[in-house]
């Protein structure tokens, strides 16, 4: 019954988001990317948009553009379509709160203990930096995505965590996460958290592992343990 | 409108004996006075080449920034500034012009045009530069006007509406001035406008002629449009062309047909979209045309700068037109008649098996957009775009900033409505692909790439070559750099901190060579460190 009520309440939002997706792909994706995070314009797949703190502000941006920047208005769309885009854009960076099976408290223990997640992920200001900060991951990602990230982490990688292997002219090898790159240099964080910047002329090889990650699969965890971790992760919503 | 009128006396002091920028000066700009940059491409022939050689291969490593001029908006900054007699005239977004003392970087006057926010412009409130003739500076505006300013004060001399912005038109192109006229094109193809090229009398702002880039019913070429589709067929003209004084011919590139990605309702070649058209300078009458991409469904405007070159070709001295096209092919045409002489890819492309003997592409089946999406190289921004190529008579090479990236093209069927997007689909970059590019040196004799300078990102910046043996270019990462024109070897680089979306110029200030580029939201001026 509760599920039925939830479905009923969410149905308009889902329909709005579906219509919004079509409009988003037409008007926004060329610059922001199909996922809102993979274009050359601002990343929209985040819980908070700095220039659009609320839906009204976001609607204003969609309708009128961002004067003085590359962001042009989405011409020729109705106010209702603007609202549909707004709903969809919000959905890119915010997963709705979901109730999931599992015990969040046990999940937190697994996170800190057997899972060793904190060695790579930041949580509320402490932890590693090899992977994404998880402080708001419950607001950013849905249950199925979180579960898949645990069992098959290479299925959907975060877009700005490219694994690179470099070899210096002196023969030194280093593996890390790319932080930045241009035609002349590359910056990376090694697997111990150290920051490095290399002129490309000082390197004999740069190999990029597209689609690869250092994150291990947690397939070996039991179904109950996975439920527990996911149930913990969905509680991580920052103040959203 | 003019912020600094009080500085007019100072301007006079700065420019003793200021000569007007006569047509004769523009005509001989690159030969007689390389110390100035009097027209968009440095000369009317579209070369973007300078005879200045104070900055050269041997000292390029000592190039340093001298001053920076900042604008107060965050729009894309695509201007090519002009320089005459120690004053730089730079257009700024949305449709402003600023005169700057080249010695100090201080502003002399500023023309600020009020532009309402929210106008239908496809790709930002941009402007690519001004033209000069006699005592006037000409600028196109986002609200569809061409304005003549007094070069000493920035005061408006005349202001002519080129086309209505509410219909989707805007004028973002740098005008081209020759003889007694100023030629402009229009943007707005994404709104299903009908494109044209206009010439205005420089003295009065009255229109001298108009060439519609889509023939009307009953005119030759209209039959290449299905039904009434010609009325909304775009073929806009938003990048500066070239002018051949010897034959009094204007050469201008035209944009893609509309709607961009859905060609089913505009079956046919869609003339004169994606063409270079040769027009009589006095009447605007078409002499010939060459269509690069008949019935384009990928948004590959042919709005690149045509480069007019007299040089040997296959054993004969020829009058050539060189054109590196957004569709990824480099073309050599006979400038007298538009006859195709050579064509070869200069960037990654997957849409054509090649070109036939007439230069018509032999398409690869299955590369037209679909509802589900089709991967094609090049992407919508194309293998090159509005940013300028450069031809060096010293090396005989054409330098082009090239983009190697793919896109997924989708169709959608939507009717036309005035002032609203009329795209016929959508596109995204190929997901997961790192988009690279290069500066490439093309040998016009063969179309072969003599060298390339690879770039991590696909560039949006044009190139400049000089008698000093240097090619200047810019990157999307924010670098401005100098290459050896014979080898492509990097000589120098500087990180500006912002995307370079413009094309460089060079000039003399107090007898010393300077190089300028708009990057990020600034104009950077460089010289040799002393």
Contact B196, B232 (CB under 8 A): no
Question: Residue A73 and residue B421: Cβ atoms within 8 Å?
Answer: no
Is residue A33 over pLDDT 90? Answer: no
pLDDT of amino acid A36: 82
A222's CB contacts (< 8 A; 6+ apart) are none
Q: Tell me the three state secondary structure of residue A62.
A: helix
Q: What is the dihedral of CA B435, B440, B444, B449, to 10 degrees?
A: -90
Give me chain B's average pLDDT, please: 94
Weakest-pLDDT range from A103-112, B81-90, B407-416, B462-471 = B407-416
Element spanning B100, H or E: strand B96-101
pLDDT (tens digit per residue) in B42-56:
999 999 999 999 999
Residue B460, token pair as written in the block:
């949006």
Tell me how far CA of residue A203 lies from CA of A104, A164, A183, B439, in angstroms: 46, 13, 13, 22
Q: In the beta sheet, which residues pair with residue B145?
A: B161
Determine the average pLDDT of the residues in B240-247: 98
Chain B residues with CB inside 8 Å of A34's CB? Answer: 428, 431
What's the whole-model pTM score?
Answer: 0.90
- Alpha-carbon distance A198 to A169, whole Å? 11
Q: Is B265 exposed, middle or buried (0-12, 13-18, 19+ CB in 10 A)?
A: middle
- Alpha-carbon distance B223 to B206, whole Å? 32
pLDDT of amino acid A35: 81
- What is the ipTM for the molecules in this complex? 0.87
DSSP states along A116-136: -GGGT-EETTEE-SSS---TT
pLDDT (tens digit per residue) in A61-75:
888 777 667 777 776
Q: Tell me the three state secondary structure of residue A82.
A: helix
- Alpha-carbon distance B302 to B270, whole Å? 13
Is residue B345 over pLDDT 70? Answer: yes
pLDDT (tens digit per residue) in A7-32:
444 455 556 667 888 888 878 887 88
- Alpha-carbon distance B414 to A175, whole Å? 49
- Using CB atoms, which residue from B428, B434, B479 is nearest to A183? B479
- Alpha-carbon distance B325 to B346, whole Å? 9
Question: Residue A72 and residue B423: Cβ atoms within 8 Å?
Answer: no
Q: What confidence tier does B3 reach under pLDDT thresholds 50, 70, 90?
A: very low
Determine the average pLDDT of the residues in B264-283: 97
Is residue B326 over pLDDT 70? Answer: yes
B332's CB contacts (< 8 A; 6+ apart) are B313, B320, B321, B322, B323, B340, B341, B342, B343, B444, B447
Any chain B CB within 8 A of the CB of A182?
yes
**Bigger pLDDT: A72 or A205?**
A205
Interface test with A, best of B190, B260, B421, B424 (most A CBs within 10 A): B421
Q: What confidence tier does B14 reach under pLDDT thresholds 50, 70, 90?
A: low
pLDDT of amino acid A12: 52
Contact B255, B301 (CB under 8 A): yes
Determine the average pLDDT of the residues in B438-467: 98
DSSP states along A172-239: -EEEEEEEEE-SSEEEEEETTS-EEEEEGGGEEEEEEETT--SPPP-TTS-HHHHHHHHHHHTT--TT
DSSP states along B294-325: TT--S-----S--EEEEEEETTEEEEEEEEE-
- Alpha-carbon distance B165 to B118, whole Å? 11
Residue B418 phi/psi, 5-degree rounding, is: -55, 130
pLDDT of amino acid A31: 80
The 3-state secondary structure of B344-401 reads EECCCCCCEEEECCCCCEEECCCCCCECCCEEECCCCCCCCCCCCCEEECCCCEEEEE
Any chain B CB within 8 A of the CB of A73?
yes
Closest Cα to residue A229, out of A163, A165, A150, A158? A150
Chain B residues with CB inside 8 Å of A183's CB? Answer: 454-457, 475, 477, 479
Contact B491, B482 (CB under 8 A): yes
Exposure b/e, B193-214, CB count within 10 A at least 16 = b: bbbbbbbbebeebeebbebbbb
Question: Residue B426 and residue A30: Cβ atoms within 8 Å?
Answer: yes
Closest Cα to residue B460, out of B487, B428, B435? B435
**Cis previous bond, A85, omega within 30:** no
pLDDT (tens digit per residue) in B164-215:
999 999 999 999 999 999 999 999 998 999 999 999 999 999 999 999 999 9
A-B interface: how many C-beta pairs under 8 angstroms? 72
Determine the average pLDDT of the residues in A175-186: 96
Closest Cα to residue B466, out of B387, B386, B390, B384? B390
Weakest-pLDDT range from A35-49, A146-160, B20-34, B148-162 = A35-49
- Using CB atoms, which residue from A29, A38, A75 is nearest to B421? A75
Closest Cα to residue B71, out of B42, B107, B38, B35? B107
Interface test with B, best of A28, A33, A75 (most B CBs within 10 A): A75
Weakest-pLDDT range from A135-139, B91-95, B292-296 = A135-139
Category of B314 on φ-ψ map: left (φ > 0), alpha (ψ -120 to 50) or beta: left
Q: What confidence tier does B90 reach under pLDDT thresholds 50, 70, 90?
A: very high
The 3-state secondary structure of B250-283 reads EEEECCCECCCCCCHHHCCCCCCCCEEEEEECCC
- Alpha-carbon distance B489 to A112, whole Å? 52
Q: Is B381 exposed, middle or buried (0-12, 13-18, 19+ CB in 10 A)?
A: buried
Question: Residue B428 and residue A76: Cβ atoms within 8 Å?
Answer: no
Any chain A CB within 8 A of the CB of B373?
no
Question: Residue A26 and residue B419: Cβ atoms within 8 Å?
Answer: no
- Alpha-carbon distance B222 to B215, whole Å? 5
Chain B residues with CB inside 8 Å of A67's CB? Answer: 117
User: In percent, how much of chain B has pLDDT > 90?
Assistant: 88
Residue A103's Cβ-side half-sphere holds a number of Cα atoms within 13 Å equal to 6
Is residue B7 over pLDDT 60? Answer: no
Contact A235, A139 (CB under 8 A): no
Weakest-pLDDT range from A66-70, A154-158, B264-268, B356-360 = A66-70
**Residue in the structure block whose two tokens are 């806009």:** B236
Contact B268, B305 (CB under 8 A): no
Interface test with B, best of A39, A85, A183, A211 (most B CBs within 10 A): A183
pLDDT of amino acid A109: 96
Is residue B85 over pLDDT 90? Answer: yes
- Alpha-carbon distance B212 to B51, whole Å? 37
Determine the average pLDDT of the residues in A170-184: 96
Q: What confidence tier does A4 reach under pLDDT thresholds 50, 70, 90?
A: very low
**Bigger pLDDT: B428 or B9?**
B428
pLDDT (tens digit per residue) in B493-528:
999 999 999 999 999 999 999 999 999 999 999 999
Question: Residue B432 and residue A39: Cβ atoms within 8 Å?
Answer: no
């Amino acid at each position: 019954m509760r599920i039925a009520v939830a479905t009923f309440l969410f149905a308009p939002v889902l329909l709005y988001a579906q219509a919004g997706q079509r409009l988003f792909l037409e008007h926004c994706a060329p610059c922001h990317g199909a996922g809102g995070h993979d274009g050359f314009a601002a990343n929209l797949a985040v819980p908070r948009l700095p220039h659009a703190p609320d839906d009204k502000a976001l609607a204003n941006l969609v309708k009128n553009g961002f004067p003085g920047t590359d962001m042009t208005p989405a011409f020729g769309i109705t106010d209702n379509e603007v609202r549909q885009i707004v709903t969809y854009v919000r959905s890119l960076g915010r997963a709705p709160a979901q109730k999931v099976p599992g015990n969040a408290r046990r999940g937190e223990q697994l996170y800190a203990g057997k899972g060793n997640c904190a060695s790579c992920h930041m949580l509320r200001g402490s932890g590693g930096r090899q992977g994404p900060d998880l402080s708001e991951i419950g607001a950013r990602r849905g249950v199925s995505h979180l579960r898949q990230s645990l069992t098959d982490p290479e299925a959907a990688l975060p877009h700005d965590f490219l694994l690179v292997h470099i070899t210096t002219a002196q023969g030194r090898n280093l593996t890390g996460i790319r932080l930045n790159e241009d035609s002349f240099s590359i910056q990376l964080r090694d697997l111990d958290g150290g920051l490095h910047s290399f002129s490309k002329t000082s390197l004999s090889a740069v190999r990029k592992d597209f689609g690869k990650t250092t994150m291990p699969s947690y397939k070996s965890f039991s179904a109950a343990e996975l439920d527990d971790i996911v149930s913990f992760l969905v509680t991580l919503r920052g103040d959203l | 409108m003019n912020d600094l009128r009080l500085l007019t006396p100072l301007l006079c002091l700065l420019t003793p004996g200021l000569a007007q920028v006569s047509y004769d000066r523009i005509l001989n700009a690159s030969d007689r006075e390389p110390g100035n940059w009097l027209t968009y491409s440095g000369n009317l022939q579209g070369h973007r080449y300078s005879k200045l050689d104070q900055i050269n291969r041997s000292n390029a490593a000592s190039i340093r920034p001298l001053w920076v001029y900042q604008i107060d908006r965050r729009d894309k900054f695509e201007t090519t500034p002009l320089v005459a007699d120690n004053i730089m005239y730079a257009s700024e977004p949305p449709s402003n012009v600023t005169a700057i003392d080249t010695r100090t970087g201080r502003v002399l006057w500023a023309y600020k045009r009020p532009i309402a926010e929210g106008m239908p412009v496809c790709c930002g409130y941009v402007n690519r530069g001004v033209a000069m003739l006699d005592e006037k500076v000409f600028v196109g505006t986002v609200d569809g006007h061409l304005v003549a300013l007094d070069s000493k004060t920035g005061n408006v001399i005349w202001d002519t509406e080129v086309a209505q912005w509410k219909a989707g038109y805007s004028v973002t192109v740098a005008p081209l001035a020759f003889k007694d006229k100023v030629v402009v094109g229009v943007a707005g193809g994404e709104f299903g406008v009908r494109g044209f090229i206009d010439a205005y009398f420089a003295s009065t702002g009255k229109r001298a002629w108009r060439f519609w880039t889509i023939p009307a019913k009953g005119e030759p070429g209209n039959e290449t449009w299905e039904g009434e589709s010609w009325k909304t067929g775009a073929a806009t003209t938003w990048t500066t062309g070239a002018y051949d004084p010897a034959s009094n011919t204007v050469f201008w590139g035209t944009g893609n047909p509309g709607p961009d990605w859905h060609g089913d309702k505009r079956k046919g070649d869609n003339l004169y979209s994606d063409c270079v058209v040769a027009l009589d300078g006095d009447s605007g009458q078409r002499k010939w045309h060459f269509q690069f991409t008949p019935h384009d469904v990928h948004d590959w405007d042919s709005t690149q700068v045509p480069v007019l070159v007299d040089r040997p070709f296959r054993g004969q001295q020829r009058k050539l037109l060189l054109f590196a096209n957004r569709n990824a092919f480099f073309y050599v045409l006979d400038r007298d008649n538009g006859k195709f002489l050579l064509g070869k890819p200069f960037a990654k492309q997957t849409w054509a098996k090649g070109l036939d003997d007439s230069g018509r592409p032999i398409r690869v089946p299955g590369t037209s957009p679909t509802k589900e999406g089709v991967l094609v190289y090049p992407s919508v921004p194309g293998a090159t775009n509005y940013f300028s190529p450069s031809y060096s008579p010293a090396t005989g090479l054409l330098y082009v900033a090239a983009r190697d990236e793919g896109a997924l093209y989708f169709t959608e069927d939507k009717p036309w409505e005035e002032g609203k997007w009329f795209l016929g689909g959508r596109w995204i970059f190929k997901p997961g692909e790192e988009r690279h590019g290069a500066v490439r040196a093309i040998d016009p004799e063969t179309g072969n790439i003599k060298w390339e300078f690879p770039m991590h990102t696909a560039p949006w910046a044009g190139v400049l070559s000089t008698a000093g043996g240097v090619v200047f270019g810019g990157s999307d990462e924010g670098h401005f750099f100098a290459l050896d024109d014979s080898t492509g070897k990097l000589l120098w680089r500087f990180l500006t901190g912002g995307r370079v979306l413009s094309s460089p110029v060079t000039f003399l200030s107090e007898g010393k060579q300077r190089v300028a580029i708009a990057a990020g939201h600034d104009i950077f001026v460089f010289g040799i460190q002393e």
